[in-house]
């Protein structure tokens, strides 16, 4: 590993947060290396969104410190905001506008040159070109989610937060989002995502941390986490397809869009 890869883009130390009498975070510590994917796992109500809100400067911690690219989230909030983008747990797209208009709007708000071109490129990258002129209110959940992620990439932020990026998506749309996230990290973007899905963390994350009762109870690579349990007994079983295998075989997966190289998803096929 080179020194460059060891640079910690996100540093979190001793984060505490309570809502009235409810102690949600009781001393959360972790680091995220530049260009890596870090998955924060936890049950409903564990405090994942609370961590993301603090790191994205939407909420103040009661104690502890966190920095993004060296900027303190509490005292250098505007620098942090220029470094990050957030795709929240609930889609932030405007239903009454088209996909293209949503993208142009955000590009204008960020004072970028050529918002129209940025919108066209992102629609193509997320296989939404054909739907680009339609109102978002007519989109499926997967299309909305991809548009939401596309919006968060405007301006090429080096750090992105994805709060439960695939909740509510069908298996094929989830794989689409996973590929998008992998591509981002390969391009050097640092990704912190939260999820309740263990397979999502397995598929995507370089490191996985489990948030439980206000603290990170384990933090490591998938291989390190698996070593926490005793070695599996060797058993001979007939390998049955999973329901997901069956679903994907029947509805088709991995159909590549020849123009963009992106995977197409079922709802866009005739």
Ligand X SMILES: Nc1ncnc2c1ncn2[C@@H]1O[C@H](COP(=O)(O)OP(=O)(O)OP(=O)(O)O)[C@@H](O)[C@H]1O
Stretch of residues binding ligand X (CB under 6 A), selected from 39-47, 142-150, 234-242, 248-256: 39-47
Q: Per CB under 6 A, which of residues 123..162 are in contact with ligand X? A: none
Q: Residue 45 binds which one of ligand X, Mg ion, none, with CB within 5 to 8 A depending on kind?
A: ligand X
Q: Residue 122 binds which one of Mg ion, ligand X, none, with CB within 5 to 8 A depending on kind?
A: none
Is residue 210 within the footprint of ligand X (CB under 6 A)? no
Q: In what order do the strands lie in the sheet with 190-195?
A: 84-87, 159-163, 190-195, 37-41, 207-212, 215-220
Q: Residue 47 binds which one of Mg ion, ligand X, none, with CB within 5 to 8 A depending on kind?
A: ligand X
Residues 130-159: x where in contact with Mg ion by CB under 5 A, - otherwise, as a string: ------------------------------
Question: In the chain, which ranges are continuous DSSP H helix?
Answer: 48-55, 77-83, 99-109, 115-125, 141-152, 171-186, 198-204, 222-226, 243-251
Is residue 262 within the footprint of ligand X (CB under 6 A)? no
Stretch of residues binding ligand X (CB under 6 A), selected from 41-49, 113-121, 129-137, 183-191: 41-49
Which backbone phi and psi does 254 adopt, to 5 degrees?
75, 15
163/176 with CB nearer Mg ion: 163
Is residue 49 within the footprint of Mg ion (CB under 5 A)? yes
List of E strands, 20-112? 22-33, 37-41, 63-68, 71-72, 84-87
Secondary element (H or E) of residue 163: strand 159-163
**Angstrom distance (rounded) from CA 208 to CA 199:** 11
Q: Residue 19 binds which one of Mg ion, ligand X, none, with CB within 5 to 8 A depending on kind?
A: ligand X
Residue 160, CA atoms < 13 Å, CB-side half-sphere:
27
Is residue 45 within the footprint of ligand X (CB under 6 A)? yes
Is residue 44 within the footprint of ligand X (CB under 6 A)? yes
Residues 155-194: x where in contact with ligand X by CB under 6 A, - otherwise, as a string: ----------------------------------------
Nearest Cα neighbor of 162 from 82, 115, 92 is 92
Nearest Cα neighbor of 202 from 190, 215, 189, 193 is 193
Residues 86-105: x where in contact with Mg ion by CB under 5 A, - otherwise, as a string: ---x----------------
Greatest extent of the chain over all pairs of C-alpha atoms, in Å: 60
Q: Which residues bind ligand X (CB under 6 A)?
A: 19, 22, 24, 42, 44-50, 89, 196
Q: Which residues bind Mg ion (CB under 5 A)?
A: 48-49, 89
């Amino acid at each position: 590993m080179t020194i460059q890869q060891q640079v910690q883009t996100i540093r979190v130390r001793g984060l505490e947060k309570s809502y009235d009498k409810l102690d949600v975070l009781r001393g959360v510590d972790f680091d995220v290396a530049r260009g890596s994917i870090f998955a924060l796992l936890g049950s409903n109500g564990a405090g994942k969104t609370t961590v993301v809100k603090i790191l994205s400067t939407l909420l103040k911690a009661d104690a502890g410190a966190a920095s993004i690219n060296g900027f303190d989230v509490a005292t250098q909030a505007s620098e942090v905001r220029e470094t990050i983008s957030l795709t929240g747990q609930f889609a932030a797209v405007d239903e009454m506008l088209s996909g293209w208009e949503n993208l142009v709007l955000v590009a204008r708000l960020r004072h970028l040159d050529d918002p129209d071109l940025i919108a066209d490129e992102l629609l193509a990258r997320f296989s939404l070109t054909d739907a680009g002129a339609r109102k978002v209110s007519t989109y499926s959940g997967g299309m909305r989610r991809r548009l939401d992620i596309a919006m968060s990439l405007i301006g090429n932020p080096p750090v992105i937060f994805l709060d439960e990026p695939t909740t509510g998506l069908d298996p094929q749309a989830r794989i689409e989002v996973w590929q998008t996230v992998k591509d981002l990290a390969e391009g050097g973007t640092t990704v912190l995502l939260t999820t309740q899905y263990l397979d999502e963390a397995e598929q995507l994350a370089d490191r996985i941390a489990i948030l439980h009762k206000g603290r990170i109870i384990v933090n490591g690579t998938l291989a390190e986490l698996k070593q926490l349990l005793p070695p599996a007994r060797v058993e001979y079983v007939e390998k049955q397809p999973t329901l997901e295998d069956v679903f994907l075989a029947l509805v088709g997966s991995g159909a590549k869009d020849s123009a963009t190289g992106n995977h197409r998803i079922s709802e866009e096929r005739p």
